[in-house]
């Protein structure tokens, strides 16, 4: 009996292959996939309405791209500073971590300020969510809903990164700081990527 017992040791309980970091990334990816479907639906609806309209105004002429092109460049730069913040955590340079996170937050805040200026300028020029003086009524509706939905995501990202900055500034746990910053970075890169799509569909095409 002893030999049988030794040859068949008790089975050890199975361990989950997912670490806390993996669970955090998985949760963020699931959220981003769902969010991407939301943006995709909005852009697909915009394309269908624009294709079916005989009097859709030219976005290039009515909206302009000078300001929004700079806003796009600003968000791309903020993605670079987000990557630099992660590199600084790896290198054990807390001062540079805070600097690059602050620059990322500043880029998002400047984007929101420019979007508010753009909206104000267009509203004063006659563009409304329920109509516009240039043709198709749904032109204003789709513009404000899509850009506003993205602006809400940027606002959430600025708040999210501000919280991450506060946590990282108080913590000396480099591995934990890297984990939470990397997960926040996934969200921020997604927001930047979506804006490039919005800029292309709404302003350029």
Sign of CA dihedral 8, 9, 14, 15: negative
pLDDT of residue 75: 93
pLDDT of residue 3: 47
Separation between Cα atoms, residue 139 and residue 141, nearest integer Å = 6
Q: What's this model's pTM, rounded to 2 decimal places?
A: 0.83
Which parts of the chain register pLDDT below 50? 1-16
Q: Specify the long-range contacts of residues 54-60, CB closer than 8 Å, at least 24 apart.
A: 55/135, 55/136, 56/135, 56/136, 56/139, 57/132, 57/134, 57/135, 57/136, 57/139, 59/202, 59/203, 59/204, 59/205, 60/203, 60/204
Q: Where are the alpha helices (DSSP H) in 125-173?
A: 138-170
pLDDT of residue 21: 60
pLDDT of residue 62: 73
Structure confidence by residue, pLDDT tens digits, 82-116: 999 999 988 888 889 999 999 999 999 999 999 99
Q: Considering only CA atoms, which of 168, 203, 164, 205 is closest in space to residue 183? A: 164
Residue 128 in 3-state DSSP? strand
| CA–CA distances in Å: residue 74 to residues 106, 155, 165, 200, 201 | 10, 15, 20, 16, 18
pLDDT of residue 57: 74
> Which domains occur in the chain, in start order?
78-205 (1.20.120.80)
pLDDT of residue 7: 46
Residue 197: alpha-carbon gap to chain centroid? 12
pLDDT of residue 139: 79
- Could you tell me which residues are beta bridge partners of residue 128? 131
Residue reference for tokens 């753009």: 118
DSSP structure class, residue 93:
-
């Amino acid at each position: 009996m002893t030999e049988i017992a030794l040859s068949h040791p008790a089975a050890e309980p199975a361990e989950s292959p997912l670490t806390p970091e993996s669970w955090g990334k998985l949760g963020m990816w699931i959220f981003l996939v769902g969010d991407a479907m939301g943006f995709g639906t909005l852009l697909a609806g915009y394309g269908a309405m624009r294709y079916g309209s005989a009097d859709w105004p030219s976005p290039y002429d009515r909206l302009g791209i000078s300001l929004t092109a700079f806003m796009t460049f600003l968000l791309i730069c903020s993605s670079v500073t987000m990557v630099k913040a992660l590199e600084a955590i790896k290198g054990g340079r807390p001062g540079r971590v805070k600097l690059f996170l602050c620059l990322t937050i500043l880029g998002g805040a400047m984007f929101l300020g420019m979007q508010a200026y753009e909206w104000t300028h267009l509203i004063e020029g006659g563009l409304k969510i329920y109509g516009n003086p240039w043709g198709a009524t749904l032109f204003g509706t789709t513009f404000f809903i899509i850009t506003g939905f993205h602006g809400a995501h940027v606002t959430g990202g600025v708040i999210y990164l501000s919280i991450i900055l506060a946590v990282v500034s108080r913590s000396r746990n480099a591995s934990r700081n890297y984990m939470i910053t990397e997960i926040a970075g996934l969200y921020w890169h997604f927001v930047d990527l979506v804006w490039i799509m919005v800029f292309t569909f709404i302003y350029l095409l």
